[in-house]
Chains A and B, each alone.
Chain A
Amino acid sequence: MISIMQSIVATPVVPIDQLLDQVAPSWAQFILWMPLISLALCGLCGAFKVKSKAPAVITIVSLATSFVLTLMLYIGYEGAQIIPIFDWIQIHWSGGSFIANFALYIDSLTLLWMLFVTGLGTLIAIYASEYMEHDVGKGYTRFFAGVSVFLFAMSCLVMGDNLLMLYLGWEGVGFASYWLIGYFYQRPAAVAAAKKAFIVNRIGDLGLALAIYLIWATFGTIQYDGIATALAAHHGDAETFTTFGGWTVHAIPYLLMLAAFGKSAQLPLYVWLPDAMEGPTPVSALIHAATMVTAGVYLIARTYPLFQLDEYALPTVAWVGGITALFAATIGMAQYDIKRIMAYSTVSQLGYMFLGLGVLSSYGAAYHVFTHAFFKAVLFLTCGAIMHGFAGQLDLRKLSGLRKMRGWKIVSYTMLIGCLCLAGFPFTSGYFSKDAILAEAFVTQGPGFKMLGWLAIFTAGLTAYYTFRVWFRVCCGPVHYEPGDELHGDDPATFHPHAPRIAINFVLIAIASGAIIAALPYFMENKTDGLTGGWVAEMVNDSPAKAGVPGAVATHDAHGDHGAHGSILGMDPHKAMYYISAVVGMIGLGLAFFFHLARRKAADSLRSKLLASNATRWLPTAMENKWYVDEFYIATIRTPLWILGKLFALIDRGIIDGLLVNGIAGIPRAIAKWFSPLHNGAVQSYAVSMIGGAALIVLLMMFMPEIMSFLQSTLIGATP
């Protein structure tokens, strides 16, 4: 292998543009490797059929190490830097090269994401160690291996220094999600949901792949700093990019959007996320609420300058986000499965984040990602605790008064904290982060942004309603419960819910505290001049997404003068929003209190009244049936394609093979009847004919000049 080794050594090392002269801390790569080490050890546990909680311990320790390393990296952070690890894909040819190294790009946006990804990852792994204990010795190892794969892929996605590494992580988290949604692989619904998640995400991945091709064709590189350099050289002017006639820079943001909307479950690609709730609840909390689904927000924030090259790119993001937020909230209002309600709520909240990105509040979007990660995780984890304790029961009509039951206090009150944050109750973390987005909708000039703002405020009211619908139903009222269908052999008549123990309770308290504390960054003093918005603004300001930070000097502002504030009802939007959203939230909460605690029967009678009238029947029906979107996709995409497949299979057998191939083959067969002694089917005669044929060919070759001149004279009529 000497020569291969030489070619490794001889591979020209591309000089990495040193952003800073400081020495890059190479230990940072272990943030990535720890989950991979954990995966390898889990694999060993699987191979040796370990029947203990060892996989959980391994995973928790390695994820905690990742978290500590991230924290160290954050503390020592002084500016963006690249940490090369190894050469991954380097294709050189004369005149160019395509380079995608396995390297890390650390800036504050990366750190912001990695802090909550590794932090929550560790906590949720601790939770899962108790939650999954029924499966010790069965799927326990597989579960933690999947979590490790996820953390590795997510770290690649967030920390990669180029778009191909992001793509590696992007598909990697999709695969981890497939793995974990399909954890209960004997349940058809889980298998179908896993498949659906992967395939729908692939449509988004297609957008990302095409965007990468376009970016490489346009900028000559897919490394973030290379793209930034190219953009700076063009002074961010879209007209100066002339690749393929200049349309590329206008197509890139829309393709990236497709990717982001797939991974972050926005219209029209959100359909996989509600089904993904078939996975174990810790997975829903970690992947499908707190971390993976925010990858789309990260992608757009990371490539924010590219979105500013097209006039309508960011407004499209805003509108898709705003409409998804409303749409998902209306579905969430009408569901009975509390985990599904949380799933639709996640889709809705992600819509807010995209709204934030679209209305030039990347800061608000990032802050909402951060707070949402905590409060949505705690909501899912409490749902999980309930599901765990009540044998799979998730129907809010069959659970009541948990707050008054022994051992369920922590669950009830941490759920309350999550609900308050999600509903945007004044002075909770969700209140501040949501307001940062809403206010900016009124500040930034854009097509219909004011209307979007009001739409989002209305959605905030719906959010408060459906959130407290859950809490008032499940945690308040008289004590009453029915077990679910996962009894594990218990008798339903003598069923006793088993309350969560120390690991689950500890994690619930820890994350709920996080959800409360997440309000503090808003009040942290800003070091940068003229910057408001606290710690998150500071983090985003040092990244490509800084154009959407309040008070920051935007390098390129596509949407008019950022300094000229709009107003709501004659007030400064930021101030007005504090009052408006508080009032709207209270109205939603009040309605929930009335219908789901004070007069529970009123809700049912309202529903039956609506259903009784021909004029209004469509509304609850459509909402309960999720606006028939799945059915629509099946009818318009899946079924036609499947029929096409069937048709092609028929054509392949009947026409291409049957008519054409066999038809042509029939001609010599007819001729061959003359030579029937040769065609006796025995294999030996084939061999004989082949030798005969070869001899014929040799003869042909020898007389080729004569044959050719004959052919030329007869066919073309000219003598050579």
Chain B
Amino acid sequence: MSPWLLLLIPLFGAVAIFLTKAALSKWISLGVSLFVFVISILMAVQFEQWGSIGTGLRSETSWINSMGLTLDLGADSVSMMLVLLTTLLVPLCVWGSFSAITSRRKEYYAWLLILETAMLGVFLAQDLILFYVSFELTLVPMFFLIAIYGGKNRAHASVKFFIYTFTGSLFTLAGFVYVAWQHSQTGAGGWSFAIHDLTIFASTQLSSTEQGWILLALLAGFAVKIPVFPVHTWLPLAHTEAPTAGSVILAGVLLKLGTFGVYRFVLPMVPEAVVAWAPLIAILGIIGILYAALICWVQDDVKKLIAYSSVSHLGFCVLGLVALNPIGLEGAVLYMINHGLSTGALFFLIGMMYERYHTRDMNMVGGLAKSMPVWSCFMVFFVLASVGLPGLNGFVSEFMCLLGTFVSTADAGQWPGVLGPKYAAVAALGMVLAAMYLLIMVGKIVFGSLKEPDTTDRGSLPVDLSIREIGILAPLAALCIWIGVQPTILTDAMRGSVEKVLSPYPELVEKYRPENTTPIPVITPDSPTPDKEDQHG
């Protein structure tokens, strides 16, 4: 099956919505997004590159030959997992919007489907320009979703979201174009934007100074998207104002575009610069973890709290990304998926509460265990997944990211790194803080004596969750348990891709090792001893 199906079907769906009656739009978009989900599952079944380093699902189409632009699509195992996450979340978001969106329905569902196309384009693109176009194209539907369907402050939030992330990614484009230009200067065939070629070119041919500048340029876009402290301030605003589905997509997929960008471009393209900059990036990640966690603690708005918790949580993911060893990087990729599931679900839950009480202020609502026991069960469950209770998904990835950071020392055997126990120990304080702010939140809105606003207008919704709403949350909960119990299936599947990304690093770390430390290979009894003299020669 051609991966183009994944991109085109939602687009056709959007067109179909515009051509039909507004009342039909939600059913069309649900049907289309479910169809895309089924197709992506079928593709995953046929996908032959699980666990290996290769790219599956290939489709090569030339576009503008004179400029080397192509429409190549393809996916390795990590892209495939994120594709599955996206195609899963979109139908759930559509389904979750049935009761919330009552006006301008056509546009809403059309934008959601266009957004799906753009997101899948990011994960599937094998051409830098195609990647960039998709990356920026995600902004447009999201902009409209926030600006039209958002909360009170939606105009400000949407403009800020758009301009902030757009400005950041212009630098990313500049970095890309610089690499492509250098490539066109040296290579024989003129311009090429094939990610594969440019990655090899940049990682081997560019000087470390050039790599440093490219790293900064790429991170300018990706760090805003993740978001890394201190370029995170658009996120709480955008999350708070976005409609529920917007928040879910934002937390579930759009933030992952940043970490995916780091995984796909920063790490393989500019390894020397990463080795040099990893400690600083890690420190920003750690600051983000602790800083955002403390901010979460003093929030009254539940949605803002969860938004800040994303900043805090993705700090762990950033740490895993720059740990430069397989366990950390696999943890980071797993974190992308897990955060999408559990935080996505939390935003759904907050949305369901909001639809009933029209407030997110924890001083206004509380003790909902009394009135909404089913909702409360799900709330506690996903909070626990988010806190990292072992047996659920969040734990595995958080543990792997921290363990990867912990053993990412210069003398760590086959996979040396530039972080170490200090980084992990400080970051691990985030575990305690996460328990603190999330349980305080649960203590306020789930437990205690029942507190409801005076003007409670549930519309057509039942007091507790409807079958539809349970149907949205149940698959996410099932996945949280499944990943928590059988994470090995995912980590094995991503192994080839991760090791390919990491392949240049052991040598580089060895090269930049401070002179006077001696290698002590004790991580695993059977790992070969890195020979210092050889590496230097």
Within 8 A of B (CB), among A622-680: 641-642, 644-646, 648-649, 652-653, 656-657, 660-661, 665
**Interface residues of B, dominant DSSP:** helix
Task: Check A714 for interface membership: any CB of B closer than 8 A.
Answer: no
Task: Check A88 for interface membership: any CB of B closer than 8 A.
Answer: yes
Q: Which residues of A contact B185 (CB under 8 A)?
A: 705
Within 8 Å by CB of A645, from B236, B294, B524, lies B294
A398 CB → nearest B CB, Å: 27
Give 1 or 0 for each of A231-270: 1 = CB within 8 Å of chain B CB: 0000000000111110000000000000000000000000
Task: Check B477 for interface membership: any CB of A closer than 8 A.
Answer: no
Task: Check A20 for interface membership: any CB of B closer than 8 A.
Answer: no
Q: Which residues of A contact B173 (CB under 8 A)?
A: 697
Find out whether the CB atom of A1 lies under 8 angstroms from the CB atom of B44.
Answer: yes
Find out whether the CB atom of A96 lies under 8 angstroms from the CB atom of B524.
Answer: yes
Q: Which residues of A contact B47 (CB under 8 A)?
A: 3
Given A186-B449, A217-B406; A1-B45 close (CB under 8 Å): yes
B337 CB → nearest A CB, Å: 14
Find out whether the CB atom of B492 lies under 8 angstroms from the CB atom of A11.
Answer: yes
Q: Kindly state the separation between the CA atoms of A133 and B485 in the bound complex, as whole angstroms.
A: 35
Q: Which residues of B contact A192 (CB under 8 A)?
A: 443
Task: Check A686 for interface membership: any CB of B closer than 8 A.
Answer: yes
Among A95, A182, A198, A241, chain B packs the most CB atoms within 10 A around the CB of A95
Find out whether the CB atom of B488 lies under 8 angstroms from the CB atom of A87.
Answer: yes
Find out whether the CB atom of A89 lies under 8 angstroms from the CB atom of B487.
Answer: yes
Given A186-B448, A192-B443; A648-B291 close (CB under 8 Å): yes
Report the stretch among B6-14, B97-105, B215-223, B434-442 that lies at the interface. B434-442
Task: Check A447 for interface membership: any CB of B closer than 8 A.
Answer: no
Give 1 or 0 for each of A11-37: 1 = CB within 8 Å of chain B CB: 100000000000000000000000000
Find out whether the CB atom of A172 lies under 8 angstroms from the CB atom of B439.
Answer: no
Q: Kindly state the separation between the CA atoms of A188 and B440 in the bound complex, as whole angstroms.
A: 12
A442 CB → nearest B CB, Å: 38
Q: Which residues of B contact A164 (CB under 8 A)?
A: 390, 399
Q: Which residues of A contact B495 (CB under 8 A)?
A: 92-93
Within 8 Å by CB of B432, from A97, A203, A652, lies A203
Q: Kindly state the separation between the CA atoms of A652 and B51 in the bound complex, as whole angstroms.
A: 42
Q: Kindly state the separation between the CA atoms of A649 and B301 in the bound complex, as whole angstroms.
A: 13
B230 CB → nearest A CB, Å: 5
Find out whether the CB atom of B414 lies under 8 angstroms from the CB atom of A3.
Answer: no
Find out whether the CB atom of A95 lies under 8 angstroms from the CB atom of B415.
Answer: yes
Q: Which residues of A contact B181 (CB under 8 A)?
A: 701, 704-705, 708
Give 1 or 0 for each of A155-191: 1 = CB within 8 Å of chain B CB: 0000000001001100110010010001001101001
Task: Check A202 for interface membership: any CB of B closer than 8 A.
Answer: yes
Given A88-B485, A186-B370; A198-B432 close (CB under 8 Å): no
Q: Kindly state the separation between the CA atoms of A243 and B520 in the bound complex, as whole angstroms.
A: 7
Given A205-B431, A687-B140; A89-B396 close (CB under 8 Å): yes
Q: Which residues of B contact A203 (CB under 8 A)?
A: 432
Given A191-B448, A195-B440, A649-B299; A7-B50 close (CB under 8 Å): yes
Find out whether the CB atom of B294 lies under 8 angstroms from the CB atom of A644.
Answer: yes
**Interface residues of A, dominant DSSP:** helix
Task: Check A220 for interface membership: any CB of B closer than 8 A.
Answer: yes
Q: Kindly state the separation between the CA atoms of A243 and B185 in the bound complex, as whole angstroms.
A: 47
Task: Check B40 for interface membership: any CB of A closer than 8 A.
Answer: no
Q: Kindly state the separation between the CA atoms of A702 and B177 in the bound complex, as whole angstroms.
A: 10
Report the stretch among B251-259, B274-282, B420-428 that lies at the interface. B420-428
Among A3, A10, A205, chain B packs the most CB atoms within 10 A around the CB of A3
Among A96, A194, A206, A697, chain B packs the most CB atoms within 10 A around the CB of A96
Task: Check A510 for interface membership: any CB of B closer than 8 A.
Answer: no
A226 CB → nearest B CB, Å: 10
Given A202-B432, A206-B429; A244-B421 close (CB under 8 Å): yes
Q: Which residues of A contact B389 (CB under 8 A)?
A: 171-172, 175
Given A4-B493, A657-B233; A91-B327 close (CB under 8 Å): yes
Among A172, A195, A660, chain B packs the most CB atoms within 10 A around the CB of A195
Task: Check A595 for interface membership: any CB of B closer than 8 A.
Answer: no
- Interface contacts (Cβ under 8 Å), in number, total 218
Task: Check B74 for interface membership: any CB of A closer than 8 A.
Answer: no
Task: Check A683 for interface membership: any CB of B closer than 8 A.
Answer: yes
Find out whether the CB atom of B440 lies under 8 angstroms from the CB atom of A209.
Answer: no
Find out whether the CB atom of A645 lies under 8 angstroms from the CB atom of B298.
Answer: yes
Q: Which residues of A contact B403 (CB under 8 A)?
A: 98, 213, 216
Give 1 or 0 for each of A78-119: 1 = CB within 8 Å of chain B CB: 000000000111111111111000000000000000000000
Find out whether the CB atom of B488 lies under 8 angstroms from the CB atom of A91.
Answer: yes
Q: Kindly state the separation between the CA atoms of A698 and B66 in the bound complex, as whole angstroms.
A: 12
Q: Which residues of B contact A168 (CB under 8 A)?
A: 390-391
Task: Check A715 for interface membership: any CB of B closer than 8 A.
Answer: no
Given A7-B50, A645-B298, A657-B233; A186-B367 close (CB under 8 Å): yes
Find out whether the CB atom of A94 lies under 8 angstroms from the CB atom of B523.
Answer: no
Given A95-B527, A199-B436, A244-B409; A213-B424 close (CB under 8 Å): yes
Task: Check A700 for interface membership: any CB of B closer than 8 A.
Answer: yes
Find out whether the CB atom of A93 lies under 8 angstroms from the CB atom of B409.
Answer: no
Q: Kindly state the separation between the CA atoms of A102 and B470 in the bound complex, as whole angstroms.
A: 31
Given A91-B488, A213-B421; A218-B522 close (CB under 8 Å): yes
Q: Which residues of B contact A96 (CB under 8 A)?
A: 413-415, 523-524, 526-527
Q: Which residues of B contact A98 (CB under 8 A)?
A: 327, 400, 403
Within 8 A of A (CB), among B205-254: 230-231, 233-234, 236
Q: Which residues of B contact A194 (CB under 8 A)?
A: 443, 447
Task: Check A8 for interface membership: any CB of B closer than 8 A.
Answer: yes
Within 8 Å by CB of B428, from A172, A178, A195, A210, lies A210
Q: Which residues of B contact A244 (CB under 8 A)?
A: 409, 411, 420-421, 520
Given A3-B47, A93-B499, A701-B177; A686-B162 close (CB under 8 Å): yes
Given A8-B489, A198-B439, A705-B181; A661-B164 close (CB under 8 Å): yes
Q: Kindly state the separation between the CA atoms of A92 and B489 in the bound complex, as whole angstroms.
A: 11
A139 CB → nearest B CB, Å: 10
Q: Kindly state the separation between the CA atoms of A704 and B174 in the bound complex, as whole angstroms.
A: 11
B67 CB → nearest A CB, Å: 7
Q: Kindly state the separation between the CA atoms of A216 and B432 in the bound complex, as whole angstroms.
A: 22
Q: Which residues of A contact B231 (CB under 8 A)?
A: 661
Given A1-B44, A93-B326, A213-B424; A202-B431 close (CB under 8 Å): yes
Find out whether the CB atom of B488 lies under 8 angstroms from the CB atom of A217.
Answer: no
Give 1 or 0 for each of B72-95: 1 = CB within 8 Å of chain A CB: 000000000000000000000000
Given A88-B488, A202-B431; A95-B406 close (CB under 8 Å): no
Q: Kindly state the separation between the CA atoms of A64 and B425 in the bound complex, as whole angstroms.
A: 42
Q: Which residues of B contact A205 (CB under 8 A)?
A: 431
Given A1-B44, A93-B326, A705-B185; A199-B435 close (CB under 8 Å): yes
Q: Which residues of A contact B164 (CB under 8 A)?
A: 661, 665
B481 CB → nearest A CB, Å: 12
Among B44, B295, B389, B449, chain A packs the most CB atoms within 10 A around the CB of B295
Q: Kindly state the separation between the CA atoms of A656 and B439 in the bound complex, as whole angstroms.
A: 28
Task: Check A569 for interface membership: any CB of B closer than 8 A.
Answer: no
Find out whether the CB atom of A661 lies under 8 angstroms from the CB atom of B233.
Answer: yes
A710 CB → nearest B CB, Å: 13
Q: Which residues of A contact B180 (CB under 8 A)?
A: 701
A96-B523, A175-B384, A686-B162 known; 5 new pairs, CB 8 Å cut-off, are: A7-B492, A186-B370, A188-B449, A213-B407, A708-B181
Chain A residues at the B interface, C-beta cutoff of 8 Å: 1-4, 6-8, 10-11, 87-98, 164, 167-168, 171-172, 175, 178, 182, 185-186, 188, 191-192, 194-195, 198-199, 202-203, 205-206, 209-210, 213-214, 216-218, 220, 241-245, 641-642, 644-646, 648-649, 652-653, 656-657, 660-661, 665, 683, 686-687, 690, 697-698, 700-702, 704-705, 708
Q: Which 6 A-B pairs have the closest CB atoms?
A: A95-B414, A93-B326, A96-B524, A645-B294, A657-B233, A168-B390
Can you list 11 residue pairs at the A/B interface with Cβ under 8 Å?
A7-B50, A7-B51, A88-B488, A90-B488, A91-B326, A98-B400, A186-B367, A188-B449, A244-B411, A660-B230, A701-B177
